[in-house]
Amino acid sequence: MNRQDATGREQRPYDIVLFGATGFVGELTAQYLAAHAPEGCRWAIAGRSRQKLERLRERLAENHPGCADLPLIEAQADDEQALRELAESARLVATTVGPYLWYGEPLVAACAEAGTDYIDLTGEPEFVDLMYVRHDARARETGARLVHCCGFDSVPHDLGAYYTVQQLPQDVPLNVDGFVRSNAAFSGGTFASALNAMGRGRQMAKAAHQRRLHEPRLMGRRARSPLGTPRFSRETQAWALPLPVIDGQIIARSARALARYGPDFRYRHYAAVRTLPMAAGGAAAVGALVGLAQLPAARRWLSERIKPGEGPDEKRRAKSWFSVRFVGEGGGRTVYTEVSGGDPGYDETAKIFAESALCLVFDTLPDTSGQVTTAVAMGDALLGRLQAAGIRFRVAAAR
């Protein structure tokens, strides 16, 4: 029996509410749910503008007539009463409304209080750490599962490491390195979140410290994700540039929670670049962007270049792809695995996000609550869903 069935939450009006449905990724997620939600799934779209929601419903109904009566919920991201009512009406709320540091906490709080499962698309470490400090304990009391980073950040990486570990011996120290490649463009919302994170190094470090004070110590085991150093990777025949993003943190948290990762687990996260000039140019560009993000005026100017709600068109997305290659070692065995798919920032993110929502609502899963990662909350069930949906997980080689 599903955990929520046991608590009676299946009696709520909606299985899933998609908040921020009229945004760029929100609409792609709504389209995916319209096409793939199982018969009998009770879902609704929510956002701040009823007019935009009505127009979205009309577009969905053109290809899926059953969406003509799709329920609409009007709510502002800062309206605590409206968000409380929204959370109490659903078994799960999926939100695309970011940057989450500015707009996300009231909905997390409402879901934690109502015992409602929550997923988002954040890649903001400061937000995730603050939500743990402020709302994990209450979510554990009510049974809510708070699952952040349910898009390209960080599901292919988290489940890719999980999949790689399954190919390695048990109960031995394990080392896994991940190498990310993609040709994709990014959206205004993604860019805004990245700029915000780059300009808040001090605040991010403070939030991480607060989290460490609240987290229970891991006894008898160790799991970590240190920042690597630039190097040439013989395994991938590419230059490896350390990626100081949230993915490594998420993987380390999965490893702390799951004994299958062994007594001593280490993960390093890299961008894979084919040539040295590209590696040097990419590092210089990121350094310049980080520097500019420290200046409020420069940050505002940069944010105007690509505004939230904007993103690449369908033709550009159709040409986009991603690949994450993993090298895992332990117990005398080395395994090479790969997770790959299409456009990571939009089409595949919408797919991953929607399948995460469906997985949490309909699949038989481990009994978890509080802030948990996708590998911990959904593991094999979500892995199977994504494989069935066309995202490839494979073992490339082993020795």
> What is the pLDDT tens value at each position of the chain, 399 positions in all?
344 444 567 799 999 999 999 999 999 999 999 999 999 999 999 999 999 999 999 999 999 999 999 999 999 999 999 999 999 999 999 999 988 999 999 999 999 999 999 999 999 999 999 999 999 999 999 999 999 999 998 999 999 999 999 999 999 999 999 999 988 655 455 555 555 666 678 899 999 999 999 999 999 999 999 988 889 888 888 889 888 889 999 999 999 999 999 999 999 999 888 754 444 444 444 444 444 344 455 445 445 555 555 666 777 777 789 999 999 999 999 999 999 999 887 899 999 999 999 999 999 999 999 999 999 999 999 999 999 999 999 999 988
Encoding tokens for residue 358? 């469906």
The pLDDT assigned to 228 comes to 86
Q: Pairing state of beta strands 14-19 and 222-224?
A: unpaired
d(Cα 25, Cα 22) in Å, to the nearest integer?
A: 8
d(Cα 179, Cα 196) in Å, to the nearest integer?
A: 25
In angstroms, the Cα distances linking 144 to 7, 21, 368, 369, 371 are: 11, 22, 8, 5, 8
- Count other C-beta atoms under 10 Å from residue 78's C-beta: 13
The pLDDT assigned to 236 comes to 85
d(Cα 250, Cα 271) in Å, to the nearest integer?
A: 17
Encoding tokens for residue 268? 């390093």
- Beta-carbon contacts of residue 314 (< 8 Å; ≥ 6 apart): none
Entry pTM: 0.90
How far does CA 215 lie from the centroid of its chain? Answer: 21
Encoding tokens for residue 79? 């309206």
In the chain, the amino acid numbered 388 is: A
Q: Which residues pair with 73 in a beta bridge?
A: 46
Model confidence pLDDT, tens digit, residues 193-234: 555 666 678 899 999 999 999 999 999 999 999 988 889 888
Selection from 126, 256, 247 nearest residue 180 by Cα: 247
In angstroms, the Cα distances linking 372 to 27, 144, 367, 369, 388 are: 26, 10, 11, 7, 24
Q: Pairing state of beta strands 333-341 and 392-398?
A: antiparallel
Q: Which CATH class is domain 3-152+348-385?
A: alpha beta
Q: Is residue 387 within 8 Å of 163, Cβ to Cβ? A: no
ω into 344 cis (within 30 of 0): no
- Tokens 């140019």: give the residue: 281
The pLDDT assigned to 237 comes to 87
Q: Which residues pair with 394 in a beta bridge?
A: 338
Model confidence pLDDT, tens digit, residues 9-42: 779 999 999 999 999 999 999 999 999 999 999 9
Selection from 270, 206, 214, 198 nearest residue 239 by Cα: 270
How far does CA 227 lie from the centroid of its chain? Answer: 20
With the CA atoms of 54, 60, 63 and 66 taken in that order, what torsion angle do they form, in degrees rounded to the nearest 10? -80
The DSSP secondary structure of 135-199, one letter per residue, reads: HHHHHHHHT-EEE---BTTBHHHHHHHHHHHHTS-SSS-EEEEEEEEE-----HHHHHHHHHHHT
- Beta-carbon contacts of residue 324 (< 8 Å; ≥ 6 apart): 156, 157, 160, 178, 179, 180, 181, 338, 339, 340
